[in-house]
Structure 1
Amino acid sequence: MKKIAFLGLGHMGAPMARQLLTAGHPLTVWNRTAEKAEPLVDAGAVLATGPAEAVRDADVVITMLAGPDAVRAVADAVVPELRAGMYWVEMSTVGPDVVRELGARLPDGVTLVDAPVMGSTDKAASGELGILAGGDADGIAQVLACFGPVTRTGPLGSGAALKLVVNTAVIGGVALVAEAMKLADALGLDEETARGALAKGPLGGAVGRAFATDVHFGSDLAVKDVALATASAQLPAMEAVLAHYEAAAADPDVVHEDIARAVAHIRRRTT
């Protein structure tokens, strides 16, 4: 079994790391807040004091971090420790430009794979995430399969690119449902009646996500993802969506809560 270093034990990273333990992989973990690693250590993982220590003896390095700045900071620590034959699997949502930037920093013989995920915390816990793998992932196919079914997307960076497309559709769809419900509120319609009608239409999936209660994807992360998308192409509708989520993320009671909380914020928003 491959020795794996898993860096980033947030809402998604912790259950994903547990899937690797369940599969029997020797696992070293690191998280900026060390206390979050305690359940995994109790289950058999080794806790490293820093990213460099975590990756030193690994065959595979997996990063699941909040965004580009966090990935770059970890790269500063781990790149000097990487050696030929290792894999770095970048599973955060950072966009293809950051993936290519990382690839240019790696020593010869180190293989970078971008493999962001589709699905939320419930899918991470059950090992049913969708993995969007860009680059040469042949040598780590069994590792990726621990998290769920794998879709090969093409060359390095294509997984990160497709993840932006998917997240843009989901986040935008949730915002559209919120605005539709805001219109229903203004017209005096019964909440359940309006939700039920929307759920039966083409936005049914977005309706389910807009009112989900058992998953987690923070409004701050939605801001990050939509900002990456709107920096990559001219997307006027998503610029408006970004303003919605930026307003929600400015509320300290909403910023780190699931985007379902942002739906209520959008419905109340007056400016």
Structure 2
Amino acid sequence: MEKIAFLGLGHMGAPMARQLLAAGHPLTVWNRTAGKAEPLAGEGARLAAGPADAVRDADVVITMLAGPEAVRAVADAVVPELRAGVHWAEMSTVGPDVVRELAARVPAGVTLVDAPVMGSTDKAAAGRLGILAGGAADGIEHILARFGPVTRTGPLGSGAALKLVVNSAVIGGVALVAEAMRLADALGLDEETAKEALAGGPLGGAVNRAFATGVHFGSDLAVKDVTLATEVTGLPVMEAVLGHYQAAAADPEVVHEDIARAVAHIRARKNH
């Protein structure tokens, strides 16, 4: 089986790496905070001293990192070590511009695929994420499928682009639910009655996400994703949504918590 290097073991990366271990792949892991990698060593993974060490003998490289700057920093270390025949699946949410940057840097013979994911930590642990794969993914689609169903989105960069579209809709929908509940609060309505009415309408999925438990997508990550989207084109509604999440991310008790905490923050936020 292919030797895989997995870089980035946060809330999403660690359960994804476990899917590969469960499938029997020889796995090398690295994380900037080394302590997050140690549990995987106890499950059979090799701990790498750094990103370059992780990828040196790999057939497949997977990066699942916090954002563009983290991806660029890791690329500085790994690009010189990539050899012809290696497949690199960039699975972070970074937007198509960063994917194009990476494509311009990888050596000849290295295949770069952008394959961001849809879903949160619960689906990562169950192997039921949705994978949006852009580029020449034939050689690693069977590996990507370990994480969940794979949707081929088109040329390189299209997976990263579609992920911005999907995340903007989800993040914006959650903020809209929060504002609707804020209005319900101001009108003195019963909370559960308002939630049930919203859940029965077209925003039902957003209501479920707004009040979800046991999942994780931090307000700081929401800020990053909406910022990436609003830099592409004029999105007045999403710019307003960005303000909500920026305010939530400025609260040290909320910044790294799931966006469900941002819902409460938006509902309680003073008039602005």
TM-score exceeds 0.5: yes
The 3-state SS of whatever aligns with 2:214 is coil
Q: Where does residue 185 of structure 2 map in the other structure? A: 185
The Cα of 1:222 is off from its aligned counterpart by 0.0
Matches of 2:171 and 2:157 in 1, distance apart? 21
1:242 pairs with 2:242: yes
Q: Where does residue 98 of structure 2 map in the other structure? A: 98
Q: Where does residue 124 of structure 2 map in the other structure? A: 124
Which aligned pairs between 1:1-271 and structure 2 lie closer than 5 A? 1-270=1-270, 271=272
Matches of 2:141 and 2:62 in 1, distance apart? 13
The Cα of 1:38 is off from its aligned counterpart by 1.6
The 3-state SS of whatever aligns with 1:165 is helix
Matches of 1:38 and 1:70 in 2, distance apart? 20
Matches of 1:105 and 1:37 in 2, distance apart? 27
Which letter maps to 1:210? A
Alignment length (residue pairs): 271
The 3-state SS of whatever aligns with 1:14 is helix
Which letter maps to 1:156? L
Matches of 1:66 and 1:194 in 2, distance apart? 35
Which letter maps to 1:267? R
The Cα of 1:89 is off from its aligned counterpart by 0.4
The Cα of 1:37 is off from its aligned counterpart by 1.0
Root mean square deviation, CA, Å? 0.4
Matches of 1:264 and 1:205 in 2, distance apart? 18
Large movers: runs of 4+ above 2 Å:
none
Matches of 2:157 and 2:126 in 1, distance apart? 26
Measured against aligned partners, the alpha-carbon deviations of 1:192-238 in whole angstroms (never above 9, x if no partner) come to 00000000000000000000011000000000000000000110000
Which segments of 5 or more consecutive residues in structure 1 lack a partner in the other structure? none
Matches of 2:178 and 2:233 in 1, distance apart? 24
The Cα of 1:5 is off from its aligned counterpart by 0.2
The 3-state SS of whatever aligns with 2:261 is helix
The Cα of 1:68 is off from its aligned counterpart by 0.0
The TM-score, its normalising length taken from structure 2, stands at: 0.99
The 3-state SS of whatever aligns with 1:243 is helix
Matches of 2:119 and 2:35 in 1, distance apart? 25
The Cα of 1:178 is off from its aligned counterpart by 0.1
